[in-house]
Chains A and B, each alone.
Chain A
Amino acid sequence: MAGNSLVLPIVLWGRKAPTHCISAILLMDDVSMIVTGCHDGQISLWDLSLNLEINPRALLFGHTASITCLSKASASSEKQYIVSASESGEMCLWDVNDGRCIEFTKLACTHTGIQFYQFTVGTQREGRLLCHGHYPEILVVDATSLEVLYSLVSKISPDWISSMSIIRSHRTQEDTVVAVSVTGILKVWIVTSEVSRMQDTEPVFEEESKPIYCQNCQSISFCAFTQRSLLVVCSKYWRVFDAGDYSLLCSVPSENGQTWTGGDFVSADKVIIWTEDGQSFIYKLPASCLPASDTFRSDVGKAVENLIPPLLFSVLDRADKQLLICPPVTRFFYGRRECFHKLLIQGDSSGRLCIWSVPDTLELQDNTEGLRMTTSTSLQEAFCKLMPRPAGIIDQLSLIPNSNEPLKVTASVYIPAHGRLVCGREDGSIVIVPATQTAIVQLLQGEHMLRRGWPPHRNLRAHRNKVTCLLYPHQVSSRSMKTKSLPLRYYSLNRQLVDGRSDAEGEVLILLAL
């Protein structure tokens, strides 16, 4: 954008909410906003009220491929920045207060996980983003400029990293990065503030490389409560390790052919693990996994089958089992507001967010009901609650008698040179309207509201089925139509098809000459 003019886009969504097949979730530190990324590359911002009411506020456009991960990119007390990464290697830095994209970069490789890491150098607070993905190292990226500073590499069996966790040490200057590679090897790097301050691009090698034989690792979490255990969730089992020497403390297989997709510590002795179907299970760890107990580490060295199993405490399930086209995304967050919230948030392919508030004191569930969902909403639900209903661009020309819903637009093309919007509809008709005047009808009040059928438009009828494609060749290539002034004409590629004798009628292409 040149000069001082600011262009504010306004969207006429229409009654149907945009599809939002959620692929990533993030809860902001102050528990006031949820950020979701979807498979089409859009990012949605949802406001969260004090009593956990969800209200979608904005949709951010910018990525061209599905969002693979989201992370905060600034310390919570400062500006609210987040970073998003997509399948095509794009990384964007966003200010979620106003939805601005602050920084953009594109790398050759896809990130599958990003974590924010902050450290203090003197009085300066510096932020870094630790990224891992389809490459054999952990990239350390500057959180403001999105520049790759250096990387954490492996000498032994270097391979892609499946999951990573940053362990902050309260006692020493050294923080630890623990990661699991795709071949099931645990890797440990020490990151100090001196290392972080380095300006040159020397790689940092691992401190330790230990095979833990965990296939298809989905997540690794460090227990912030005990500061002593690591939870590793793989697709067919989840395990707890001693964070001191990485020895195995307990292991739980998945049942009924389910697949675990992640998990986290809920308290010092309880973990929550979720599956691909969207169900979550809270387990109470046995005493052999708890540092505070006398029998801590009593099972170390035993075979996996002989370890004491955890106790199933509670099951969290979705209320409505709506048909999903891909597995939902679930994440557990600790809030940091007045009421210390522990929230399990799940987003699915229908654009729905579900929140379970996990209470601090969990009772062992006798009944089969499990912990009930606290709140849930979807984009379409939010749209339906709005009064008046969100308007579409040619709603006033699309009224169907005896129906609440307007006639659907199924194809469109905008012709800036003539300021015209051409819409093909599901009944086969094509409407040509002057674009700005039709937008005015929806956005502004005025004389036009008294006029029926305003703005002046053309209605073309030739097709019998919905219009699937519109093309204005002159816009694509100015040499495609030799004559400059032609009366409004339309052409169909194959005249036969207009008769309706062929079943492929809906795919006829109409060319317009203006």
Chain B
Amino acid sequence: MAAAMASAAERAVLEEEFKWLLQEEVHGVLRQLQDILKEASHRFALPVGVTEGPVKQENFMLGTSSADQVKGVLMLQGDALCQADINLKMPRNNQLLHFTFREDKQWKLQQIQDARNHVNQAIYLLTNRDVNYQFKTGSEVLKLMDAVMLQLTRARNRLTTPATLTLPEIASSGLTKMFTPALPSDILVNFYINLNKLCLTVYQLHALQPNSTKNFRPTGGSILHNPGAMFECGSQRYEVSHVHKVECVVPWLNDALVFFTVSLQLCQQLKDKISVFSSYWNYRPY
């Protein structure tokens, strides 16, 4: 396989191999990719366009161990939490607080919608490249694979990288106003997706007195804030005294992430196969 010694006959064989790659192998891989991505898209279980069917609802129990001070039952419908039932055991007085979403209130998990849209973009890129389409050059395939891989990487990143929010942003997110009974002013709640898990974080705050000797340093944005983080909201300064985080694996998110990984591998392998030939095309005898 020494490129330096490739004779005319060997190069003819290489060209035949490349033609086979473009005409047969590429379509086989694209077919596989489409099937996997369609499975991934179905996992997101959202009605798209005309087929407005009932979207399945799933319940997730967060904080099932007896040691957890926060317990939640969340109902996820597609990309939104349509019901939330949260029990919070206050450490100071062991009082049990209970909150639920107000009727007809939903909290949209933008991460899920974005991931779904990226998967659909990837599927769209592949739709017009079925068996009837003829690829003329390797570069065309490489460019298509790059575009598909970009969408899949984005889809995966949306699930693995929740937004970094500052505490004032969490306080003003509108989530605090969605509960009944109303959340006390010293409790903040946040939901997000982290990898394949649905996470609920509860921050217990204590108000800092204006004449407090503590050195006030507002904390920046973070996915999860730690006790001791400080922020200012309106004219009141707060410090986080307790942080509770409970989570639950969402099986279909797990499936989707596996599909993304497999698809990315398929794309990369196809790219590698095409790239092997590119070194031959640039060969010039010395």
Interface residues of A (CB under 8 A from B): 21, 39, 87, 134-136, 158-160, 182-184, 213, 215-216, 235, 257, 259, 276, 323-326, 349, 426-428, 464-466, 500-503, 505-506
Contacts and interface: CB of A to CB of B under 8 A. Distances in A.
B102 to A, nearest CB: 16
B262 interface: no
B282 A276 contact: no
B105 interface: no
B49 A213 contact: yes
Chain A interface, DSSP helix/strand/loop, else mixed: loop
B117 A182 contact: yes
Please list the 8 inter-chain residue pairs (A to B) with the smallest Cβ-Cβ separation, ordered nearest first: A325-B139, A325-B140, A503-B2, A184-B49, A326-B143, A503-B3, A503-B1, A325-B143
A134 B282 CA distance: 39
A503 B5 CA distance: 9
B4 A505 contact: yes
Interface of B: 1-4, 48-50, 108, 110, 113-114, 117-118, 120, 124, 128, 132, 136-137, 139-140, 142-144, 147, 150, 154, 279, 282-284, 286
A464 B4 contact: yes
Given A136-B110, A323-B136, A325-B137, A466 B1 contact: no
Given A87-B150, A501-B2, A502-B2, A257 B132 contact: yes
A159 B2 contact: no
B27 to A, nearest CB: 15
A55 B114 CA distance: 41
A91 B22 CA distance: 37
B108 A158 contact: yes
Nearest to B141: A325
A500 B4 contact: yes
Contacts of B279: 506
Contacts of B113: 136, 159-160
A148 to B, nearest CB: 15
A396 to B, nearest CB: 22
Contacts of B120: 182
Nearest to B282: A466
Contacts of B110: 136
Contacts of B150: 87
B117 A134 contact: yes
A463 to B, nearest CB: 9
30 contacts: A21-B143, A39-B143, A87-B150, A134-B114, A134-B154, A159-B117, A160-B114, A182-B117, A183-B48, A215-B48, A215-B49, A215-B50, A257-B132, A259-B128, A323-B136, A323-B137, A324-B140, A325-B142, A325-B143, A326-B143, A326-B144, A349-B143, A426-B284, A427-B284, A428-B286, A465-B4, A465-B283, A500-B2, A502-B2, A506-B3
A483 B114 CA distance: 53
A160 B140 contact: no
Contacts of B117: 134, 159-160, 182
Nearest to B108: A158
A183 B48 CA distance: 6
A109 to B, nearest CB: 9
A465 B284 CA distance: 8
Contacts of B283: 465
B21 to A, nearest CB: 16
Contacts of A215: 48-50
A503 B4 contact: yes
Contacts of A257: 128, 132
Nearest to A410: B282
A505 B3 CA distance: 9
Nearest to A216: B124
Contacts of A506: 3, 279
Nearest to A408: B284
Contacts of B143: 21, 39, 325-326, 349
A183 B49 contact: yes
Given A160-B117, A503-B2, A505-B4, A427 B286 contact: yes
A501 B1 CA distance: 10
